[in-house]
Structure 1
Amino acid sequence: MRGHGVHGHPRHARGVLPVFTASANLVVPAVAPIQLNDRVRIVQLANFYGPRSGGLRTALHNWGRGYAERGHEVILVVPGQRDSEEVLPGGVLRITRAAPVIPATGGYRIVNPRRVADVVRGLRPDVLEVSDRLTLRGFGGWARDRGIRSVVVSHERLDRLLGQFAPRRLATGWADAANRRMARNYDAVVCTTDFASEEFLRIGAPNLHRVPLGVDLAMFHPGKHDQGMRDSYAGPAQRFLLHCGRLSVEKQVERSIEAVRLLRREGHDTRLVIAGDGPRREALKSRARGLPVHFTGFISDKSRLAALFASADVSLAPGPHETFCLSALESLAAGTPVVASQSSALAEIITPGCGALASNRGSAFAEAVSSVLEIPANTRRASARRRAEDFGWAESVDGMLAVLGDDR
């Protein structure tokens, strides 16, 4: 199908928006496009993947299942405790290679790229999809040397990550240099939001595409509301706030705790449930001492998680560097509005009625929660669900396949 997207350029299939710039500074010698009309072998690579790796794992599994449903052979190569092979629901073959746990990361593992290359060499892929721009970034050049089409997915903002440890100007320079090298080595760079795309637009990457993620609209649904679960966390007159995500520095869980402290000081009877685990769990428990804050730990049961989202009054997403935040989208799908950081990609997703954006202060989050709770419950819940319905996994899979095959 042909059409025209932004700036009059050809538009990709539903779900993907190619991002073009006027800069000619970065030239990418692309491998010839492949045809995805017939069955092809797609190999997905990722580090920082595990039972508790949240959005990355969810995206890889849903994309892989979607590719397989459309008739392609899909193989996922990831790190784990031991070498193994397993066919996942949906038909994806997952090959796990033993890798050590990285200290102080809450269980993340990184498999040696040489071991990954040994596996991929034997698989002889038609196209390589890499969801790790740090430890596996070299596979763009590896694929080009072998005439294999390669796509890298940027799940994070490198300039924002580096900016947590270095002055902004220095972090931006480092990120730009690294991103130029990576963009040259891959046939396509995929970002999930405009926010995530900004650092590639800044360097004039000509092979940049935007493919939004999706949400399981059947699993995460307002009908999953569980009154018994709600009663176990909050009384009839209390406000039930939820923070769901990894307990790590970049997620800024402290801001959710501070918001509850301030809301209670102002006379609002609120309780906060923090669902997730990570390296900062004990420090956060200490910070929440004396407040009605409950830590559930990591929730592996999707049905239980869906019920938790559907039973809360408001979800909090204070991470200032989020490039998409699937947990926020799952909350919206369950009919629960989200208060999010205005400096994150959620500024593109949260619209009036389905939540609010706040500056990166606990007081701003407390004020935003109060404003959302003033909206009638039925109105805010219906608005949240409507917004989530704009993000389906089928559209996301179509978008990724358009990029993987360069179907222009």
Structure 2
Amino acid sequence: MKIVDVSAFYAPEGGGVKTYVEQKIRALAARGHELVVVAPSDRDAIEPRGPGCRIVHLASPTMPLDRRYRYFAEAGPVHAVLDAERPDFVEASSPWRTASIVAGWQGAAPRALVMHADPLAAYAYRWFGPIAERATIDRHFQWFWNHLRRNARRFDRVICANHGFAARLSAGGVAHVATVPLGIDAGIFSPVHRDEALRADLLARCGLGPDARLLLGIGRHSPEKRWPMVIDACQRASLKRPIGLVLVGGGRDSARIRRHIGGNPHVHLLAPVRDRMLLARLMASADALIHGCEAETYGLAAAEAAASGLPLIVPAEGGAADLLLAGQGERYRPASSRSAAAAIDRLFARDIVGLHAATRAAAGRIATIDDHFDRLIADYTGLSTTARIVA
């Protein structure tokens, strides 16, 4: 199968989408498929990327608000690539202009809109949620819902990575929605990497002894991750028992987070950990992972933590909520430090030895990224053998 991925958010300094595209290039090449990624760039160029795979760079203007990224200003160059490549299947990896460009292509190949982001949850619901009901927010963002519904009718599949997001889109009248969860890198994260000496060292960095509880938070320092809320929740929960919080990450909000921590000695910041095996040791050596973001489409850090045998404390919405098995962690009301603190307290009031035994026994259930691509390709193969769905 030849797949063309029109990927607006693939960029040299990009984050999750770039990582996903790199994984997809390796996975599809290993399975004998051909992948062509069409990406906005500072120049027109073709970059070979192994057997049957390449990146077609199209000269494009920069995003006004984030100059790491560019956008497809015109449909013509993208359509010309699609015409020349004659793909068996086409993906659009952004719900914005890219979706309209791919939907408007006159080729016969089936196509999917891959929702790598949840714009309403990441922005509208987060900004206006404290002052308005979600139904009210949706009414004021009907322009986005109309755009999404209109384009979805021209796609054969709208791919989401978690069931809650998929259900919300379907309830909003978006057609052809399917849930295809992502996955973690195979062979890295496991309970066998637990290191009690590392755990003791991390607690010492939080000014606490080994009898305290150790919470781990992992993710970039940006507003939607809600680290100040997580810090407040841990501080509230620590009134009942000693709790250390280690936050691993970095980003534009780092200074704000340091100010929020203030003089609290029980919160320790670690820079992003690029060494995957060291990250696996960190994951396995904590007592639980706490997650603050309800807008993620999957929740990779939560998946890696679950694969490491950790209980999860997660918002009741978003990708991380899908990863929590009954009895193996706690959910809390999104954006509420009081609710998150109560969830921390409930978790640590339980038999921690029995809880860890259960989460370690279930660690192998977490799907890998290879599982994801196998399922995705199987779905695309089925769609490519049927007539196009065009409303």
Shared fold per TM-score greater than 0.5: yes
1:112/1:297 CA distance change after superposition, 3 Å: farther
Question: How far apart are the structure 2 equivalents of 1:90 and 1:392?
Answer: 23
Cα deviation digits, residues 138-172 of structure 1 (max 9, x gap):
233243x1223211111233433333345524245
2:340 paired with 1:365: yes
Residues in 2 aligned to 1:290 and 1:222: alpha-carbon distance in whole angstroms: 33
Q: Which moved more, 1:109-118 or 1:270-279?
A: 109-118
Match of 1:13 in 2: none
Give the letter aligned to residue 209 of structure 1.
A
Q: Which has the higher contact order (CA 8 A, sep 6+)?
A: 1
| Match for residue 365 of structure 2 among 381, 385, 389 | 389
Distance 1:279 1:73, change over 3 A: same
What does 1:81-92 correspond to in 2, within 5 Å? Answer: 92=53
2:92 aligned with 1:110, yes or no?
no
1:309-364 deviation line (CA, Å, top 9, x unaligned): 11221111121223321211111001111100113343332122321101232122
Match of 2:199 in 1: 230
- Provide the C-alpha distance between the structure 1 equivalents of 2:14 and 2:198, rounded to a whole number of angstroms: 25
State the alpha-carbon separation in 2 of the partners of residues 74 and 366 from structure 1: 46
CA contact 1:339–1:368 (8 Å) conserved in 2: yes
Superposition RMSD on alpha carbons, in Å? Answer: 3.1
What amino acid does structure 2 have at the position aligned with 1:60?
A: V
> Counterparts of 1:217 and 1:68 in 2: how far apart (Å)?
17
Give me the whole-angstrom Cα distance separating, in 2, the residues matched to 1:199 and 1:370. Answer: 30
Matched, 1:44 2:5: yes
What pairs with 1:122-141 in structure 2 (closer than 5 Å)? 122-141=84-103
User: 1:57-97 CA distances to partner (integer Å, 9 max, x unpaired)?
Assistant: 44434444332222101233445677776666897534556
Determine if contact 1:83/1:98 at 8 Å carries over to the other structure: yes
Distance change >3 Å, CA 90–CA 146, structure 1 → 2: closer
CA change 1:230–1:387 in 2 (3 A) is closer
- What residue in structure 2 maps to residue 30 of structure 1? none
Contact 1:74 1:93 in 2 (8 A): yes
Structure 1 stretches lacking a partner, 5+ long:
1-39
Q: Is the 8 A contact 1:42 1:126 kept in 2?
A: yes
Corresponding position of 1:209? 178
1:267 Cα deviation (Å)?
4.4
Judging changes above 3 Å, is the alpha-carbon distance between structure 1 residues 290 and 56 closer, same or farther for their aligned structure 2 residues? same
CA separation in 1, counterparts of 2:44 and 2:247? 33
Query: Structure 2 length as normaliser, TM-score?
Result: 0.81
**Are residues 1:258 and 2:211 paired?**
no
Of 190, 197, 203, which residue of structure 2 is paired with 1:221? 190
- Corresponding residue number in structure 1 for 2:168: 199
Query: Where do residues 321-400 of structure 1 align in structure 2 (5 Å cutoff)?
Result: 321-360=295-334, 361-373=336-348, 374-377=350-353, 379-380=355-356, 382-383=358-359, 386=362, 389-400=365-376
Partner amino acid for 1:48? F
Residue 308 (structure 1) aligned with residue 260 (structure 2): no
Task: Tell whether the 8 Å contact from 2:25 to 2:49 is kept in structure 1 after alignment.
Answer: no
Per-residue CA shift, 1:111-143, capped at 9, x if unaligned? 435465565555443221222112422233243
Q: How does 1:60-99 map to 2 (within 5 A)?
A: 60-78=21-39, 92-95=53-56
Q: Match of 1:18?
A: none
Are the equivalent residues in 2 in contact too, given 1:140–1:151 (CA < 8 A)? no
Q: Which residue of 1 aligns with 2:207?
A: none
Give the unaligned 5+ runs of structure 2: 129-135, 205-209, 387-391
Distance (whole Å) between structure 1 residues aligned to residue 201 and residue 42 of structure 2: 35
**TM-score, scaled to structure 1:** 0.78
Moved more, 282-291 or 200-209: 200-209
Corresponding letter in the other structure for 1:242: L
Letter in 2 for 1:278: G
Looking at structure 2, the residues matched to 383 and 85 of structure 1 have their Cα atoms a distance apart, in angstroms, of 46
Give 2:217's aligned amino acid: H
Aligned length: 366
| CA distance in 1: counterparts of 2:124 and 2:305, whole angstroms | 29
